[in-house]
Structure 1
């Protein structure tokens, strides 16, 4: 049986088969894409920013961001289009994070890995130290007192 869900945009119940939204919202989304696409295909509009596209077409910013994120509006043809970084909301054209957020995460992971390596080395040194300290008891004292 197909999954039944509420449309995240309008709340209507629908059978979730091919898309995550209902048929009505899908048609509305495609209409909005056609509006944006036609606007962007005009030569004088190719350098328009997201804000300008939103103001002229009245298509919601989130949908324009989604079109760029999905690759439906190519940033190679329209260099001023982009969508927000998931961490800091600066405008990017590919991926999920901007380079500075990505670098911050990488630096954090490297720092954590170095700390783990340091702790492992420290533990290894402690283990070696414990192994080298052995106590030996002599039985000679017992036998020599006869």
Structure 2
């Protein structure tokens, strides 16, 4: 469904839809920059270029490059030195939202949490099993 929105790049009002998140003018400029970057990277000598080199040589913004890589327009198989920052630590990655180190750290933290949860449950079970009940003969039904 289309809705009115402000362009995140220039602030102009435009009709936002599923395919575009900026106005026509900014969209055309972005596509022009994409063609410049893609033509630069298609040259065999530039396929291993880093983000800094691509930015310096083409004039494209870092934000645009990250966007194109996330969307898959610049494929990591063809351009192995390009990436975007991990959402937790900022290291460059080529897929997902987190780098391998952050994922493994989160997994370790979750494992520690689960172990602590299980330990607490075991303590509660032991406490329940230690409880003694006495039977009062008056209430046995005699």
For normalisation by structure 1, the TM-score amounts to 0.86
Number of the residue aligned with 2:100: 99
Structure 1 residue 125, shift from structure 2 partner: 1.9
Structure 1 residue 20, shift from structure 2 partner: 2.0
Number of the residue aligned with 1:28: 29
Number of the residue aligned with 1:113: 114
Structure number with bigger Rg:
1
CA distance in 2, matches of 1:137, 1:73: 79
Structure 1 residue 91, shift from structure 2 partner: 1.1
CA distance in 2, matches of 1:20, 1:125: 58
Number of the residue aligned with 1:53: 54
Gaps of 5+ in 2: none
Number of the residue aligned with 2:17: 17
Gaps of 5+ in 1: 140-146
Question: Would the alpha carbon gap of residues 2 and 93 (structure 1) be closer, same or farther in structure 2, given more than 3 Å must change?
Answer: closer
Structure 1 residue 87, shift from structure 2 partner: 1.1
Aligned residues between the structures: 137
Number of the residue aligned with 1:136: 135
Structure 1 residue 46, shift from structure 2 partner: 1.0
Query: What's the Cα RMSD here?
Result: 1.5
Structure 1 residue 49, shift from structure 2 partner: 0.7
Is 1:8 equivalent to 2:8 in the alignment?
A: yes
Deviations 1:59-114, CA, capped at 9 Å, x for gaps: 00111121112111111111111111111111111111111111111111111111
